[in-house]
């Protein structure tokens, strides 16, 4: 029996006040988890800029007691041809989408390993597998998140801590409000179902990955792309 079996599981969801993150919060609470939101919004339970290690360190005690981490915080970044992307815009996208997930994962792993049970679910993108034009920084950051997941899955495979990644296609969330119509059309046209996904659809998959029912999958990539992904 795991060390967490006798207690209510505690989860933290980054980017938990909007989009996929908010849907995951709602779903995990329905599953019986105690869920904390981590977001730059002052209304969050943990007010954290995930790219800022000092922000994360302020909540070290709370994060050490977490059983489930969902890394959902992210930005689209520059929607431009790669040769027009500034180093600053590139770095900001990588810092939030990739480095932020790494830092949050580091903060929870000590407690998870000590208790012999944990689930980390990263929210990447089909762009990390296939690349989207005019979204070089975003695509690169999500490809990095897939690689991080695969590495951690192998490192933690005998510790009771499973690390997996979800790769959605375009999802109808506020994060895409600033994406150009041309880019959105490109992404939706590549989906065989011919529609964006919804945040609750992604949250349902995260729910399973965060549960005891997910017991023999780690370092794995789970598609949520309406048929777009070719591998």
pLDDT along the chain (231 residues), means of 10: 68 96 98 98 97 97 97 96 98 98 98 98 96 95 98 98 95 74 82 90 98 98 89 75
Q: What is the pLDDT of residue 5?
A: 54
Domain count, the chain: 1
59 annotated active-site: no
> What was the pLDDT predicted at 1?
38
Whether residue 32 lies inside any domain: the answer is yes
Residue 229 lies in a domain: no
Q: What is the CA radius of gyration of the chain?
A: 17
Q: What is the pLDDT of residue 182?
A: 81
Residue 82 lies in a domain: yes
For residue 4, being part of any structural domain is answered with: no
CA distances from 48 to 13, 55, 64, 185 (A): 11, 5, 15, 33
pLDDT (0 to 100) of residue 185: 83
- For residue 132, the domain's CATH number is 3.40.50.720
- C-alpha–C-alpha distance, residues 33 and 50, integer Å: 22
Given 59, 138, 186, 231, which residue is catalytic?
138
Structural domain that includes position 76:
10-222
Q: In angstroms, rounded to a whole number, what is the distance separating the alpha carbons of residues 148 and 165?
A: 9
């Amino acid at each position: 029996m795991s060390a967490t079996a006798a207690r209510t599981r505690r989860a933290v969801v980054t980017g938990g006040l909007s989009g996929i993150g908010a849907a995951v919060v709602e779903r995990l609470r329905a599953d019986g988890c105690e869920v904390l939101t981590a977001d730059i919004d002052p209304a969050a339970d943990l007010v954290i800029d995930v790219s800022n290690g000092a922000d994360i360190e302020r909540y070290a005690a709370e994060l050490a007691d977490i059983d489930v981490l969902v890394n959902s915080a992210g930005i689209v970044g520059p929607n431009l041809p790669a040769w027009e992307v500034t180093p600053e815009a590139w770095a900001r996208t990588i810092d939030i989408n990739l480095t932020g997930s790494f830092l949050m994962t580091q903060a929870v792993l000590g407690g998870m390993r000590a208790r012999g049970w944990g689930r980390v679910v990263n929210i990447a993108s089909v762009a990390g597998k296939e690349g989207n034009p005019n979204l070089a920084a975003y695509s690169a950051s999500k490809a990095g998140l897939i690689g991080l997941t695969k590495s951690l899955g192998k490192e933690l495979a005998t510790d009771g801590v499973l690390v997996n990644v979800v790769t959605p296609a375009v999802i109808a969330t506020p994060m895409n409000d600033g994406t150009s119509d041309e880019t959105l059309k490109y992404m939706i046209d590549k989906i065989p179902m011919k529609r964006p996904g919804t945040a609750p659809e992604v949250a349902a998959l995260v729910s399973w990955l965060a549960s005891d029912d997910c017991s023999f999958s780690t370092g794995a990539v789970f598609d949520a792309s309406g048929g777009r992904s070719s591998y």
